[in-house]
Amino acid sequence: MKSQNLREIDIDLIDRNPDNPRIIFRPDELSSLMASIRKHGVQVPISVYRKEGRYILIDGERRWRSSIKLNRKTIPALIQEEPDPLNNLLLMFNIHALREQWDLLTIATKLPKVIDLLRSRLGKQPTEREISEETGLAFAVIRRCKLLIELPQKHKDTILKELQKPKSQQQLTEDFFIEMERSLKTVENNMPSVVEEFGKETIREALISKYKAGTINNRVDFRQIAKIARASNVGADTRRAQNSLTKLFTKENSYSISDAFEESVGTAYVERDLLTTLTTAARQMALFEHSTLDAEIINALSQLRLEIDRLLEGE
């Protein structure tokens, strides 16, 4: 910003910024802010720019809303010069990305506009690094946003409705959809025929329905769907894995992600983990001499030998 000055301005002369990505204002959160403002006043000035005799918010919409509710007539504000459309958006992204946790959907909604404006400025499609540098958002956040952007509108509406609830009451959260979408992308890449058979939206509906019914009770379980889809990586039977996914993606049953995982690839992943552990252990053991081992390790190795003998003799 070239110049800015601090003034106490009339609260009624301020308008919200239509480009503010924040669209959720939870009443319980505003209530806490109001309590603080009532006690200490607005300690951090809001940021605005002047336009046609009024002021447009750049930063501080919650403080402005709380001050209106508290019947305040003025609010301290830093008055800046009017930014161009891209800078207007980027300012808000940077202010919030650095200072507070925004709901991802609010970022996701505005991100396409940022990308469009960046494309015009750079004359090419911006890379993730360029988006990250301009917005202050981490790569991971940008990727998660992209998953939300690609969701059908009705699911975005569902998330929006959930976001309006206090956090403790939210069920179909952004994280739920992100985990689900990630796993479906893996299925699409590794077993495209399964997705083609049902259609992606039908699969989403089935999984949402099972989540609501409690058949799926942890959104992290979606990661197991990705593991099933990558059955070939662990040498598991891919036909069986496909059958399990088909059964899982059918709405009318109580077949859970854990059921599908155990029936198809569970053992294969345990075996792979065991192999990795044993290979690593063997490599590390090669570095020791008998004389350097303490009693504790000797005891652990003796127990391991008993298990190894049991397994090999059984063979």
Partner 1 sequence: MPYRALAPHLHGAADAVLKYFIANHGIKNSNIVVEEGVDPNVEFAPTFTLTTDDKELICIEILENLYPPEIKDFVLGCKNHSVPAKLYCALLSEPEDQVETRAYQFATDNGIGLLGVDPANYGIRKINNNALSLSLGGLRTFKMGDYPSSYRAALQSAIDTFKNGNPGKGCLDVYQEIEHLTRRIGKRAASISGGLRSTASFNWDTQAWANIAEFLKTHLDTTVCKCPDLRPQLFNRIIGMTEYRNDVGHKPKTLAKRIERDRLAKTRFEGAMDELLILINASKPLRLKP
Which residues of this protein are in contact with partner 1, per CB under 8 A? 16, 23-28, 30-31, 34-35, 38, 64-66, 68-72, 161, 164
* Least Cβ distance, residue 15 to partner 1 (angstroms): 9
Q: Please tell me the distance from the alpha carbon of residue 301 to that of residue 311, in angstroms, as a whole number.
A: 15
Q: Please tell me the distance from the alpha carbon of residue 9 to that of residue 12, in angstroms, as a whole number.
A: 9
- Nearer to partner 1 by C-beta: 72 or 223? 72
* Least Cβ distance, residue 102 to partner 1 (angstroms): 16
Residues in Cβ contact with 9 at an 8 Å cutoff, skipping those fewer than 6 apart: 48, 55, 74, 75, 76, 77, 79
Spatial strand order in the sheet of 4-10:
4-10, 74-80, 46-51, 54-59, 14-15
* Least Cβ distance, residue 96 to partner 1 (angstroms): 18
Phi, psi of 58 (to 5 degrees): -105, -45
Contact 147, 200 (CB under 8 A): no
- Nearer to partner 1 by C-beta: 61 or 175? 61
CA distance from start to end of the chain:
75
- Nearer to partner 1 by C-beta: 165 or 247? 165
Q: What is the dihedral of CA 50, 53, 54, 57, to 10 degrees?
A: -10
* Least Cβ distance, residue 18 to partner 1 (angstroms): 13
- Nearer to partner 1 by C-beta: 161 or 305? 161
- Nearer to partner 1 by C-beta: 69 or 223? 69
* Least Cβ distance, residue 28 to partner 1 (angstroms): 7
